[in-house]
Structure 1
Amino acid sequence: MIHAHDVDWTTGHLPGQACGVPDHLGGHALPGPAIRAGAFEGFYAEAHAQGAVDPCTLMSLPFLFDMADDAATPDRDEIVRLLLSIGRESSDRDPEGVYFTVHGVESTAHVDITAEMTVRADAFVHYAADHDPSVRRPAIQAVGLFLSDGTRAAPVLAERLPAEDGIMERLLVVRTMARLALRLPETKTTVAVWLDELIDDHEQSHVDAPVRLSALTHRALMDPDRGPASLVPRAIALLQESTPTPTADKLCNGCRRCQSSSHVCGRDAVSQVLPAHLAVDRFDPDHNWVEDSPISSVLRTLHTALDERVAERTALLVTQLNSLDAATRYDAIAMTKDLPGPLPRPVLTSLLGLLPDDWAAARVIQGGFSQWWGGRLRIAPEDSELLLDTVADHMATLCTAYGGDVWATDNALIRTAYQEAVMTLADHRDPGTPPQKVAPLRPPLR
């Protein structure tokens, strides 16, 4: 039972203002998912809107920790995730700064919240060993953020790696350990040795290729001058090792929802792959910015570390775009947009190589090229014809498959792919091209 109303919640409010936080806290423990969802939404709106940390946020901590401690609390993972968010936002603020609450009252609650998280760090150590992986994930990050004793934090995190069965959790442990070295410099040597051991470990079952790839990436961030020549070739080899080879009865369908790489989500997961022609029915074009492969966050970090080393990033992106794993390919398309300068020919060729058969990829790729849709993919002038010829061929493929009214088909993915192909061709045509050659590219209005 939550007795939040026994506390005076007027601190941080102007006279006459009422605080709804105690009601929201009580709703967290009530039966009914819809009720709890409303309680969480209300709490965020009043006590943690856009990362706000106010006096009422501070006063909520004892109740939130009590709920997180109780194994019978529904949605415990949401509670622990909320605690992590509150603590992270507080620790990121200037300890000497004064902020204003959503009610316009000055507040330094972030200082007390940061101190409270440090005092309660053992609770996160306990949550990090919970039976529920959705509870462990935010708890692992919290251990790296709030446990102040580096000589204890590093072993606690290292012990989680062999205990975790899912790849998402193992990658999270590696990333959190690397960030610990940044937060507590005294742990840098310990973390560096640990990462080196992971990179060269070929024996232990929990140290698979994705884990070694993550260790290699974060080790490079810790010491950028260490072995730069071999970094990308080793990363490519580990990326390829991380990707399964589709078998005759389980072909990759080229869809972002494809589970051909289901070993990435857990060792015992079972693949469920659909024929290629069904890819367009499963792709979600409205959420194409969401990363699908757990190793994509590692690869994005590696691209960030490589920065202006375009040749090495090109080699890495080509491997990603030609991966047998659909999730890796789709995430690579988004990373391609961050490559500085015009697209190198190998990257452009790999992107366009997805178009003939992968209609879902077309939705993302052509949106990147079309200036009409605010595209961010730039090409060298000498590559214009290659782009235009490939897109035109793709449009012909869509017309053959869906008929002359493809631009108005009920399938949103196909319709948008065709329309964006039209705009891409129009945007990139030579300004001197006769209007009668461009006009047919645009569908007639109804």
Structure 2
Amino acid sequence: MSNTSDADWSAGHSPGQVCGVPGHLARMRSADPSVRRAAFEDFCAEAFPEGTVDPCTAASLPFLFDMADDPAAPDRAEIVRLLFLIGREARRHDPDEVYWTVYGVESRAHVDINAGMPGRVGAFARYATDADPLVRRPAIQAVGLFSADGERAARLLGERLPVETGTAEQLLVVRTMASLADRLPETAHTVTAWLDDVLDGSDRPHTGAPVRLAALAHRFLRDPGHDTAADTVSRALTLLRESTRLPTAEKRCDGCRRCRPTCCGRHDDFTVRPVHLAAEFFDPDHVWEEHSPISSALRTLHTALGDRVPERTDLLVAQLSSPDTATRYDAIAMAKDLPGPLPRPVLAGLLALLPDDWAASRMFMEGFGTYNGRLEVAPEDTALFTGALADYLAMLRAAHGPDVETSGNPFVRCSYQEAVVALAEHRNPHARPVHTYGMEPPY
């Protein structure tokens, strides 16, 4: 086991400054969960501030790997994920640039981290076989991101798919394999052949509909001319229906700050489903927008389709009408990325979510917000939109009374307020109801 006293913790600090990282690392091994949590947060604040790397970050890696290598170490999943994030952030830094630490000292620690991570691929490959899926997920991504030997990485990733049993882990293998070809072009033929086999090869237990959907999306993204967009979407719709016949299991509330007792359960005979409890987050790049594992594949397919709005419309309508709550939630976010005004079928699908699901209605209304709104209604569909909002507001007033905008249910309250704003703006751009500002948000 490495000894923190053997490392030089002065690099990256001005003379006289004391580095607290060795103490944070020691407390991260504490038997007290609260001590470990505080130490982890302190470590990130000092050695990985706002996702940046510096000499203290580089000096910490041997100790973090020691913890990750110890099967008895607590919080291994968080440690392995932290190692992956540190390595990923270092790769995003320009190797020819000099950066500055939070203490105002020049740093090229990213160069050292990038040089060392390929030698740690063996460790990540071991973590990728761990019994805990939360350990395996970042490890799988690390194998694809840090390997210098592309063929070895492709082999390791290919070996993971048949033994993974969880949908999230299986799709992560597919996505990581596809990204390997982008990072190491010499693996393109191997990766493409593997995707073709997953998509069109013989049926196997590990190549169910969600996995084939992911392979289809990444295959089309890699080679849009391989098949027509219409045929690809038609096949995707079949796989989507097969993938969402059963709703995604909902997460149990873990007492996080974004979930209060007042916004869980039932209120006034209406079911409230907090957005962040729809399912376990999957895509690290869209953690606040994705709730279903298959949404990463669907987003990839939307990206590959680009400005082919008719095909994307067919796909979104199917997502919005899915029996799976998480899939519908994620479709709302993807609708915001459509170029131009919302096609009428997509708008109708969004409006159909309003009466029954407060979380969906809030996500929908936020898309029309003044500051971050990305949803646009075509002029010929304005009457459809405003009529649906007026009916929605009338329904809320009938169900909750004339004081609905101050309802104790935060989802109902905010849904009503934002619907009022959206309706006012689409009838008269200057008629924004000022009294809705400053109301308490649901989280």
Per-residue Cα deviation, 1:164-207 (whole angstroms, up to 9, x for no partner): 11111000000000011111111111110110011114521111
User: Helix, strand or coil for the counterpart of 2:272?
Assistant: helix
5 Å-filtered alignment, 1:1-400, equals: 3-201=3-201, 203-229=203-229, 230-244=231-245, 260-262=247-249, 280-284=271-275, 289-371=288-370, 374-400=372-398
Aligned in 2, Cα 1:38/1:359: closer, same or farther, shift over 3 Å? closer
Per-residue Cα deviation, 1:360-390 (whole angstroms, up to 9, x for no partner): 322222232354x653211111111111111
Q: Output the amino acid matched with 1:281.
A: V
Give the deviation of 1:79 after TM superposition. Answer: 1.0
User: Helix, strand or coil for the counterpart of 2:382?
Assistant: helix
- Between stretches 401-410 and 170-179, larger displacement belongs to 401-410
Give the deviation of 1:89 after TM superposition. Answer: 1.4
Q: Distance in 1 between matches of 2:91 and 2:414?
A: 44
Aligned in 2, Cα 1:283/1:51: closer, same or farther, shift over 3 Å? closer
Contact 2:393 2:419 (8 Å CA) reproduced? yes
Give the deviation of 1:359 after TM superposition. Answer: 3.5
Contact 1:244 1:261 (8 Å CA) reproduced? no
User: Helix, strand or coil for the counterpart of 1:297?
Assistant: helix
Q: Output the amino acid matched with 2:394.
A: A
Contact 2:2 2:62 (8 Å CA) reproduced? no
User: Structure 2 regions of 5+ residues with no counterpart?
Assistant: 252-264, 279-286, 437-443
Q: Distance in 2 between matches of 1:79 and 1:385?
A: 53
Q: Distance in 2 between matches of 1:323 and 1:205?
A: 24
Per-residue Cα deviation, 1:308-329 (whole angstroms, up to 9, x for no partner): 1111111111111111111111
Q: Output the amino acid matched with 1:335.
A: M
Aligned in 2, Cα 1:374/1:190: closer, same or farther, shift over 3 Å? closer
Q: Output the amino acid matched with 2:234.
A: P
Aligned in 2, Cα 1:277/1:354: closer, same or farther, shift over 3 Å? farther
User: Helix, strand or coil for the counterpart of 1:139?
Assistant: helix
Q: Distance in 1 between matches of 2:394 and 2:276?
A: 21
Aligned residues: 416
- Between stretches 182-191 and 284-293, larger displacement belongs to 284-293
Q: Distance in 2 between matches of 1:322 and 1:303?
A: 17
- Between stretches 148-157 and 357-366, larger displacement belongs to 357-366
Q: Distance in 2 between matches of 1:91 and 1:205?
A: 35
Contact 1:2 1:26 (8 Å CA) reproduced? no
1:405 paired residue number: 403
Q: Output the amino acid matched with 1:299.
A: L
Q: Output the amino acid matched with 2:153.
A: A
Q: Output the amino acid matched with 2:403.
A: D
Aligned in 2, Cα 1:51/1:431: closer, same or farther, shift over 3 Å? closer
Aligned in 2, Cα 1:276/1:347: closer, same or farther, shift over 3 Å? farther
TM-score, structure 1 as length reference = 0.87
Contact 1:128 1:140 (8 Å CA) reproduced? yes
Aligned in 2, Cα 1:14/1:292: closer, same or farther, shift over 3 Å? same
Aligned alpha-carbon RMSD (Å): 2.7
Contact 1:280 1:360 (8 Å CA) reproduced? no
Q: Distance in 2 between matches of 1:35 and 1:23?
A: 12
Aligned in 2, Cα 1:423/1:200: closer, same or farther, shift over 3 Å? same
Q: Output the amino acid matched with 2:240.
A: L
Per-residue Cα deviation, 1:199-235 (whole angstroms, up to 9, x for no partner): 1145211111110010011111111221123111111
Identity, in percent, stands at 57
Q: Distance in 2 between matches of 1:405 and 1:54?
A: 53
Give the deviation of 1:68 after TM superposition. Answer: 0.8
Give the deviation of 1:442 after TM superposition. Answer: 8.0
Contact 1:370 1:427 (8 Å CA) reproduced? no
- Between stretches 57-66 and 159-168, larger displacement belongs to 57-66
Q: Distance in 2 between matches of 1:425 and 1:370?
A: 11
Q: Distance in 1 between matches of 2:15 and 2:369?
A: 54
Per-residue Cα deviation, 1:244-303 (whole angstroms, up to 9, x for no partner): 15xxxxxxxxxxxxxx23399xxxxxxxxx999866433248999441111111111211
Q: Distance in 2 between matches of 1:74 and 1:163?
A: 25
- In our comparison, the structure showing a higher alpha carbon Rg is 1
Aligned in 2, Cα 1:51/1:368: closer, same or farther, shift over 3 Å? closer
- Between stretches 274-283 and 114-123, larger displacement belongs to 274-283
Q: Distance in 2 between matches of 1:276 and 1:239?
A: 32
Give the deviation of 1:5 after TM superposition. Answer: 2.5
Q: Distance in 2 between matches of 1:79 and 1:369?
A: 39
Q: Output the amino acid matched with 1:398.
A: L
* Residue among 416, 421, 424 paired with 1:423: 421
Q: Distance in 1 between matches of 2:30 and 2:269?
A: 42
Contact 1:366 1:424 (8 Å CA) reproduced? yes
Q: Distance in 1 between matches of 2:305 and 2:369?
A: 27
Aligned in 2, Cα 1:31/1:21: closer, same or farther, shift over 3 Å? same
Give the deviation of 1:84 after TM superposition. Answer: 0.7
